[in-house]
Amino acid sequence: MLMRVPDSRSQVGAVSSPDRQCVVRRNFTGELLIKAGNPSDPEFEAANVELEKIQEQKRRRTPQERHSLRQRAMYVDPLETGGWNRPIDLTKDASRDELIYAMNDYSLMRHNLDSAEKYNSVRECLTDWPGRPELPELRWPKVLDRNRLDARP
């Protein structure tokens, strides 16, 4: 993974991974990420606390945002600003990204259910549940290129 810190507020830093590039902007959250990634920074602890608050806000918003996205992806509706919401306007990249985010969240929860001690009581309840359905397997979208979305077999 490669990280380049921007030289000015108008520049951006890139965090590269094999198939995708994320942008860390020099805004409030970007500054926090830079400080939280450097334990020698005097604001390291405060940045981590602030990032945890932001993360908790995002955790609370995510279910509603995903529901709204599913609605926009399935239904043609009038927009408050005029015109129409058309599912075809949702790009393949945005769809792929949302699927990957959702799978990452599900993967983390599955991992926690399987191994984290704080979920022992939940794991025991699931194990003791007679006739319990199996949890779905992890299946990430396989991206052959940026214009194509396929499911892994």
Would you state the pLDDT for residue 24? 52
Residue 116 lies inside a defined structural domain of this protein: yes
| Overall domain count for the chain | 1
Would you state the pLDDT for residue 109? 87
Residue 119: HSE in the Cβ half-sphere, 13 Å Cα cutoff: 12
Both tokens of 67, joined, read 């529901």
In tens, the pLDDT along 57-107 reads 988 999 999 999 999 999 999 999 999 999 999 888 888 888 888 888 889
Residue 77 lies inside a defined structural domain of this protein: no
Helix (H) / strand (E) element for 142: namely strand 141-145
Residue 115 lies inside a defined structural domain of this protein: yes
Would you state the pLDDT for residue 84? 94
Q: Which domain holds residue 107?
A: 91-153
DSSP string, 41-55: STTHHHHHHHHHHHH
Residue 20 lies inside a defined structural domain of this protein: no
Both tokens of 98, joined, read 């949302």
Would you state the pLDDT for residue 64? 93
* Residue linked to tokens 């994320």: 22
Would you state the pLDDT for residue 19? 37
Residue 11 lies inside a defined structural domain of this protein: no
In tens, the pLDDT along 6-53 reads 333 333 333 323 334 445 556 777 788 888 888 888 888 888 888 899
Residue 59 lies inside a defined structural domain of this protein: no
* pTM confidence score: 0.58
Would you state the pLDDT for residue 11? 32
